[in-house]
Amino acid sequence: MSEIKDFFKNYSLFVDSVTSPDSKDDALAISKIKELSLALNGNYSRFDTAISGLVGEAGECADLWKKIKYHRKNFDEDTRKKMIDELGDVCWYLANAAIALGVDWDEIITRNIEKLQTRHPNGFSPAYMQKKP
């Protein structure tokens, strides 16, 4: 049992050693929040809520899809509506992130299209994926 305790103690020490100071020190974190609030023109709270919400709602979409794929949940009209509802929640948080950044949705989509056209000028290619490490 001591070996297991030592393993987890050593792992905790390792985790602590590779964690940034801002992640461990409230005063540093508060200072960073103030800096970010200035950079976001006072929209830190909105952006923080949006990012946290995006992760949560994307997780709900993923969890529902996992249940359909692996837990034999039926993909019926009710499940489809639930997925649409969750995607709507993703959009709500995305809209808040856009508002916080002072950017319109069309700029987000346009930049995404430009990025993907650069990455895949002739459409998707399996060769592109083989180049990835």
pLDDT tens for 33-55 read 999 999 999 999 999 999 999 99
Same domain membership, residue 1 and residue 25? yes
Same domain membership, residue 101 and residue 79? yes
Give pLDDT, residue 125. Answer: 79
Provide the terminal-to-terminal Cα distance of the chain, rounded to the nearest Å.
Answer: 39
* pTM for the structure as a whole: 0.80
Same domain membership, residue 99 and residue 78? yes
pLDDT (tens digit per residue) in 90-131 = 999 999 999 999 999 999 999 999 999 998 888 887 777 777
Tokens of 34: 């103030």
Same domain membership, residue 32 and residue 47? no
Same domain membership, residue 13 and residue 47? no
Give pLDDT, residue 76. Answer: 97
Give pLDDT, residue 30. Answer: 96
The residues, any chain, with a CB within 8 Å of residue 43's CB and separated by 6 or more, are: 37, 99, 100, 101, 102
Q: How confident is the prediction for the chain on average, in pLDDT?
A: 94
What's 104's DSSP letter?
Answer: -
Sorting pLDDT into bands at 50, 70 and 90, what band is 32? very high
Same domain membership, residue 17 and residue 67? no
Enclosing domain of residue 73? 42-122
